Amino acid sequence: MSSVRLPMRRAAIAWLFLAPALLIIAAFNLYPLAYAFVLSFQHYSISGTSWVGLENYRRVLADPIVHRAFANTLEYTAVVVTGGIAISLSLALLLHGRSSAWQTTFKALYYLPAQIGAVVSAVIWVYIFAPVDGLLNHILAALHLPQPLWLANSHTALPAIIATALIGGHGAAVILYLAALSGIPQSYYESARLDGVGAWTQFWRITFPLLRPTTVYVLIIGVIGSFQVFGSVYLMTQGGPQFSTDTVVYDIYDAFFKRGQVGSACAEAFLLGLIIVAVSLLQYRTLATDVEY
């Protein structure tokens, strides 16, 4: 069928309805994006701007603190995404096959942390990790165990932040996995059982491959989100101690607001964007598959 073209009047009405959304997107997404791209090639100050070409990119790529931020972000992403998938899949498998009431209750419980704002959640964690009156150290003291300075020690600060991400925030993935699990025909498992296949093999040969589209989705969304981790770092450690929790987005914020390096902050943001797009495309191309059952 040939493409349908709307008459001018109908097109005008369509544009009219689209205009508010387009205006908002143009003003708050496209314009800042384009302006930030321009700024990434400029030295910006209130008294004036000057073109510096690729200098901001060169400076960002040579900065050892930015290297540290990228390394921390990669570590955070690798652990949080893979750990998150393992945890949410395990929880979904535990719930799958239970009664509807059980599933609803636990889905709500797992989803609850997502409804608590990141700020509230981070503040609660700060109290849990507090050096003297913190809940965690109270428990460790009662058990006569050493009480680390969770957020003040360069060896424990990043693991502590990773732990906060791993403990909460799997609700959405659990719900997705549960939906995908209920879509796998039971006949596959019945045939496998008749052939004497064990539960472990059933999981690796039937369940996991058929969950691949969901896993790819959770993986890509998880990687994009984890690369942009900011709230917990900002509220819990401010990138310290000794840059051990400095992440790329926190470093961008720091460059812009604390150091006033507007051009470098924009350059770092575009480099991060480029990496996220590249990693997401790579994941999609290597892992995506059409599954029919």
Partner 1 sequence: MEQHRRCRVSPSAVNRWTVRRSAFLRCACLAAGSLLLPCGCAQRAASGPLRVWSFNHFEGYEGMLKAQLAEFERRRPGFTTAYEIISWAEEDDKLTVAMASGRPPDVLWGALDPRWLATGLQVPIDDQLTAFDRRDFYDTALEAMRFSGRLWGFPLYQTLYCMAGNAHMFEDASVSWRAIQSEGWPWDRFLSDCRALKAPGVYPFVFFVRPTPEMWSWFALNNGVVDANSSGLRADGSFGWNRTGVAEALQFLIDTFRRHGISPPQEPGFSDENQTDLFFTGRAAVSARQGPYVLTEQKRIARAQAGGARLPHPGYRAFPLALLPFPHHPATAQRAHAGGGGYMVFRQKNVANPRRVEAAVRLAHFLSNTDGMQFAAHLSLLPSRRSGVRRFGGQLDLESPNMRFFQRYLQQSAPRIHPPLDVASSREARVLEVAVTPNWEAALAADKTVPQAMSDMTAGAASVLNGT
| Per-position x/- string for 57-96, each x denoting binding to partner 1 as judged by CB under 8 A, each - no binding | --------x-------------------------------
Kindly tell me the burial class for residue 273, based on how many C-beta atoms sit within 10 Å of its own C-beta (0-12, 13-18, 19 or more).
middle
From 45-53, 102-110, 188-196, 199-207, span contacting partner 1 (CB under 8 A): 45-53
Q: Does 285 bind partner 1 (CB under 8 A)?
A: no
Identify the residue among 52, 152, 172, 275 touching partner 1 (CB under 8 A).
Answer: 152
Q: Are 72 and 244 in contact (CB under 8 A)?
A: yes
Lay out the site mask for partner 1 across 229-248 (x = CB under 8 A, - = otherwise).
---------x-xxxx-----
- Could you tell me how far CA 280 lies from the centroid of its own chain? 12
Which x/- pattern over 3-22 shows residues binding partner 1 (rule: CB under 8 A)? -xxxxx--x---x---x--x
Decide if residue 191 touches partner 1 (CB under 8 A). no
> Which window, 125-133, 202-210, 220-228, 267-275, contacts partner 1 (CB under 8 A)?
125-133
Q: What are phi and psi of 42, to 5 degrees?
A: -125, 155
Q: Which is nearer to partner 1, 256 or 270 (CB)?
A: 256
Distance CA 64, CA 258 (A): 18
Cite the DSSP H helix spans in 183-254: 186-194, 199-202, 208-210, 212-227, 231-236, 248-253
d(C-alpha 148, C-alpha 176), whole Å: 37
Binds partner 1 (CB under 8 A): choice among 97, 117, 185, 260:
260
Provide the CA 53 distance to its chain's centre, in angstroms.
32
Is 254 one of the binding residues for partner 1 (CB under 8 A)? yes
Distance between CA atoms of residues 82 and 230, nearest Å = 19
Residues in contact with partner 1 by CB under 8 A are 2, 4-8, 11, 15, 19, 22-23, 26-27, 31, 44-47, 65, 130-133, 147, 149-154, 238, 240-243, 254, 256-260, 262
